[in-house]
């Protein structure tokens, strides 16, 4: 699989697309006015302690207070590793934020209102929720993640070779400062002690700078800001299997070349400066793919399709055969559609950056062997996804419940906002429904309105309906209350909006 990075930079926005086999697989967007805050370190002040939830709200200087669970206050390695590497298998939060099977001291014995505390943002504010924060500070580097507050060495689960794991653990244990912690990242596989030591020295120096700023400033305030989106992607995604990088900004081009020379001097990754008149994302066909990622319906090659509905609580994915009728029998047709949908669903989850609870409604399969085959295919396809996923078995109804770690907003919520017309519901009252609602309101109001004439202000489509198909309803009201009803169209009105005025 060939990988490329395509970077589009303007004065107001930076977009980084990871291409796999010529198609966009992941998209990162950062707007100068709305820079992400994950990884930022703040000196905050506790403003409210919630014993019933074993959590606290911390003012970190943003519009909404950060949310801090009790497990993220204590130096528990499980919580730290979950934040950094996706966590051990089977590691789950219960509804009150504590770890299942674990007991912690009461939150009120650890934090008090007015207390100042150093915290780091683990998740962006999502929807109506404030940022998820943690007291476990971690500073990511190219090969290592530094944890100055805990004494622990962990290895990325994506490194599968046991001998390499042992070598890396021994190396880091030998060279790390006493009493500090490190997580060895996947990118460290095969790296020498010199590479790891260089990364470690940079991170330790950065922590000293953060610690000194903490002592000199009051709460709430920003102590350390994480890298911009381009630098972050280069740090976290760039590996030797990236075939080339194409960027349309001379400044970003220079920065990327310098980064590769300093961090990956042996890597032969060409960095091309794009200078054609056609916008770079248009030239690579990415604008079309991004637009496709905002739609509800995604067609499959066979003629089937999937529907993706994102709500506040969960994301529902529905699989349908559509135009695909198969060649042999119904069970084979269903199996083929579901297997094709597996690849598209996994692709769309990465591309759209959909996280949280996800329900996939596959087409019902009678044979257990077919259900197992689809489930195995889903697990295998999701292995390339860096975000941690947890998948349950397919139910007899064809449903799969899964979770995908969510750190930042999805593309849909980044690029779109709720429709002001339907207020995010996705539908509005029909014209007929509105006509009958207006009749009921006229029944209530006509008797009490003075004069012989009443003016009804409505949307043009409603005005047409009332003057034509539903004219008999207006005439019935006029005869009953002995008043003339004048219908006036107002182009600026919402279809559900109307006014009844005397005269």
Residues of the chain below pLDDT 70 = 75-103, 127, 324-328, 407
pLDDT (0 to 100) of residue 328 = 67
Q: Are residues 81 and 207 in the same domain?
A: yes
Q: Are residues 264 and 309 in the same domain?
A: no
pLDDT (0 to 100) of residue 327 = 64
Q: Give CA–CA dist 234/247, Å, rounded.
A: 13
Q: Are residues 173 and 80 in the same domain?
A: yes
pLDDT (0 to 100) of residue 99 = 45
Q: What is the pLDDT of residues 363-373, one digit of tens each?
A: 988 888 998 99
Burial class (CB in 10 A: 0-12, 13-18, 19+), 135: buried
Q: Are residues 49 and 194 in the same domain?
A: yes
- β-pair partners for 298: 306
Residue 187 structural domain = 41-223
Q: Give CA–CA dist 149/139, Å, rounded.
A: 11
Q: Are residues 164 and 96 in the same domain?
A: yes
176 part of a folded domain: yes
pLDDT (0 to 100) of residue 235 = 85
Q: Are residues 355 and 455 in the same domain?
A: no
Q: Are residues 91 and 235 in the same domain?
A: no
Q: Are residues 203 and 111 in the same domain?
A: yes
The alpha-carbon radius of gyration of the chain (Å, integer) is 29
Q: Give CA–CA dist 42/64, Å, rounded.
A: 14
CB 265 within 8 A of CB 258: no
Burial class (CB in 10 A: 0-12, 13-18, 19+), 214: middle
Residue 466, domain CATH:
3.40.1260.20
pLDDT (0 to 100) of residue 100 = 44
SS3 at position 187: helix
**Domains identified in the chain, total number:** 4
Residue 326, domain CATH:
3.40.630
Q: Are residues 213 and 234 in the same domain?
A: no
User: E-assigned strands of 10-143?
Assistant: 13-20, 23-31, 41-50, 55-59, 66-69, 116-123, 132-134, 139-140
pLDDT (0 to 100) of residue 244 = 92
pLDDT (0 to 100) of residue 27 = 92
């Amino acid at each position: 699989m060939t990988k490329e990075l395509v970077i589009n930079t303007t004065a107001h926005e930076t977009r980084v697309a990871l291409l796999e086999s010529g198609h966009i697989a992941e998209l990162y967007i950062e707007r100068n006015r709305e820079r992400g805050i994950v990884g930022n370190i703040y000196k905050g002040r506790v403003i409210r302690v919630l014993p019933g939830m074993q959590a606290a709200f911390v003012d970190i200087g943003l519009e909404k207070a950060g949310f801090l669970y009790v497990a993220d206050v204590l130096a528990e390695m499980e919580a730290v590793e979950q934040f950094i590497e996706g966590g051990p298998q089977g590691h789950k939060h219960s509804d009150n934020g504590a770890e299942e099977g674990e007991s912690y001291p009461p939150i009120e014995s650890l934090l008090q209102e007015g207390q100042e505390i150093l915290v780091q943002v683990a998740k962006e504010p999502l929807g109506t929720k404030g940022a998820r924060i943690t007291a476990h500070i971690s500073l990511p580097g190219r090969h290592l993640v530094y944890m100055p507050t805990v004494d622990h060495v962990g290895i990325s689960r994506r490194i599968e070779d046991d001998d390499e794991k042992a070598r890396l653990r021994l190396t880091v244990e030998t060279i790390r400062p006493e009493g500090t912690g490190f997580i060895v990242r996947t990118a460290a596989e095969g790296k020498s002690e010199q590479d790891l030591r260089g990364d470690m020295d940079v991170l330790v120096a950065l922590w000293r700078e953060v610690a000194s700023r903490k002592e000199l400033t009051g709460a709430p305030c920003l102590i350390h800001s994480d890298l911009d989106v381009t630098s972050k992607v280069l740090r976290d995604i760039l590996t030797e299997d990236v075939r080339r990088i194409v960027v349309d900004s001379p400044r970003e081009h220079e920065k990327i070349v310098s980064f590769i020379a300093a961090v990956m001097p042996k890597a032969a990754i060409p960095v091309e400066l794009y200078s054609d008149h056609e916008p770079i994302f248009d030239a690579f066909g990415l604008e079309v793919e991004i637009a496709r990622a905002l739609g509800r319906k995604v067609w499959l090659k066979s003629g089937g399709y999937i529907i993706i509905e994102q709500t506040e609580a969960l994301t529902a994915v529905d699989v349908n055969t559509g135009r695909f009728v198969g060649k042999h029998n119904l069970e084979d047709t269903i199996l083929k559609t579901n297997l094709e949908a597996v690849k598209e669903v996994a692709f769309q989850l990465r591309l759209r950056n959909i996280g949280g609870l996800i329900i996939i409604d596959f087409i019902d399969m009678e044979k257990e062997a077919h259900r197992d085959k689809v489930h195995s295919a889903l697990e295998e396809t999701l292995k390339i996804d860096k975000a941690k996923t947890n998948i349950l078995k397919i139910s007899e109804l064809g449903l799969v419940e899964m979770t995908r770690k969510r750190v930042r907003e999805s593309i849909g919520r980044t690029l779109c906002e709720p429709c002001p017309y339907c207020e995010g519901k996705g539908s509005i009252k029909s014209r007929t429904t509105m006509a009958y609602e207006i009749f009921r309101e006229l029944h209530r109001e006509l008797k009490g309105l003075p004069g012989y004439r009443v003016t009804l202000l409505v949307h043009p489509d409603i005005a047409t309906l009332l003057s034509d198909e539903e004219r008999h309803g207006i005439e019935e009201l006029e005869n009953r209350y002995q008043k003339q009803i004048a219908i006036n169209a107002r182009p600026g009105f919402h279809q559900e909006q109307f006014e009844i005025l005397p005269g």
